[in-house]
């Protein structure tokens, strides 16, 4: 790849606690990566303060499970930078640090569920986010799409209806419609805590890791 092509790689970013990563995350990530022709989709495990971590499951174990899930699955990648800090990262910090590495030309796409998007006005330095990335709102086909007042003007100014028509490295908002699989990490933790199997809800390599390390066995 030429240096110029490397600078223009289309990179999606999906943050989450991934406690543990499951097929809902992975399938959704692949579908949006395909729909928006990403060269890379980075799974970014979020830091959580120690008192909010699941007992007996460390940040590095959450990271290793995401690495096992994404290994060899293009275009998925894992970016552990938020876990390497000793405090929660604001999304703006993560974007600034990625921009410093990738340069100003690479199109970056921050993936957010509808609920997270509606909460955006409460985020640290939220008005600066679109200076670093596009925002792709992952929306369910049956969902209500009335945005809160605080976001109405922003959407009027920045929304592009065709996700493929997003232009430039940052600055626009679009919606990607997906039917999520009915799987959650909460459900997986509950099954494991009651001694049940989570086979086929997580990749086999993640299942083997959970079993080998005896994770999520204690009552929640």
Site for ligand ATP, rule CB under 6 A = 16-19, 24-25, 28, 113, 180-181, 183-186
Q: How far is the CB of 30 from ligand ATP (least distance, A)?
A: 11
- CB 24 → ligand ATP: shortest distance, Å? 2
Cβ proximity to ligand ATP: between 8 and 123 the closer is 123
The upper half-sphere exposure of residue 159, i.e. CA atoms within 13 Å in the direction of its Cβ, equals: 11
Taking CB atoms within 8 Å and a gap of at least 24, the contacts of 119-126 are 120/151, 121/148, 121/150, 121/151, 123/90, 123/91, 123/92, 124/90, 124/91, 124/92, 125/90, 125/92, 126/92
Sheet with 108-113: strands ordered across:
76-78, 40-45, 11-16, 108-113, 134-139, 173-177
The distance of closest approach from Cβ of residue 179 to ligand ATP in the complex, given in angstroms and rounded to an integer, is 9
Please state, in angstroms and as integers, the Cα–Cα distance from residue 158 to each residue in 103, 120, 138, 139, 192, following that order: 22, 15, 16, 17, 43
Shortest CB 134 distance to ligand ATP, Å: 16
19 vs 79 by CB, closer to ligand ATP: 19
CB of residue 62 to ligand ATP, shortest distance in Å: 9
Q: Considering the complex, state which of residue 155 and residue 176 has its C-beta at the smaller distance from ligand ATP.
A: 176
Alpha-carbon span 95 to 115, nearest angstrom? 20
Smaller CB separation from ligand ATP, 8 or 17: 17
Nearer to ligand ATP, 7 or 180 (CB): 180
CB of 103 to ligand ATP, least distance (A): 26
Torsion of CA 100, 102, 104, 110, to 10 degrees: -100
Nearer to ligand ATP, 48 or 158 (CB): 48
Neighbours of 9 (CB within 10 A): 16
Cα separation values, 76 from 4, 5, 170, 199, Å? 22, 19, 21, 21
């Amino acid at each position: 790849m030429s240096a110029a092509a490397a600078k223009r790689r289309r990179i999606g970013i999906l943050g989450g606690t991934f406690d543990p990563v499951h097929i809902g995350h992975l399938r959704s990530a692949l579908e949006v990566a395909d729909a928006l022709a990403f060269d890379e989709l980075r799974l970014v495990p979020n830091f959580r303060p120690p008192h909010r971590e699941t007992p007996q499951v460390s940040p590095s174990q959450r990271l290793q499970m995401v690495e096992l899930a994404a290994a060899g699955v293009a275009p998925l990648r894992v970016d552990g930078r938020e876990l390497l800090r000793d405090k929660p990262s604001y999304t703006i910090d993560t974007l600034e640090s990625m921009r410093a590495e990738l340069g100003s030309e690479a199109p970056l796409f921050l993936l957010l569920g509808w609920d997270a998007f509606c909460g955006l006005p409460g985020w640290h330095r939220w008005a600066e986010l679109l200076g670093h990335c596009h925002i792709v709102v992952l929306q369910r086909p049956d969902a209500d799409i009335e945005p809160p007042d605080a976001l109405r003007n922003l959407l009027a100014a920045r929304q592009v209806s065709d996700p493929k028509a997003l232009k430039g490295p940052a600055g626009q908002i679009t919606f990607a419609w997906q039917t999520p699989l009915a799987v959650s990490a909460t459900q997986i933790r509950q099954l494991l805590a009651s001694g049940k199997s989570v086979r086929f809800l997580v990749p086999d390599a993640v299942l083997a890791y959970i079993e080998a390390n005896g994770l999520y066995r204690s009552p929640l």
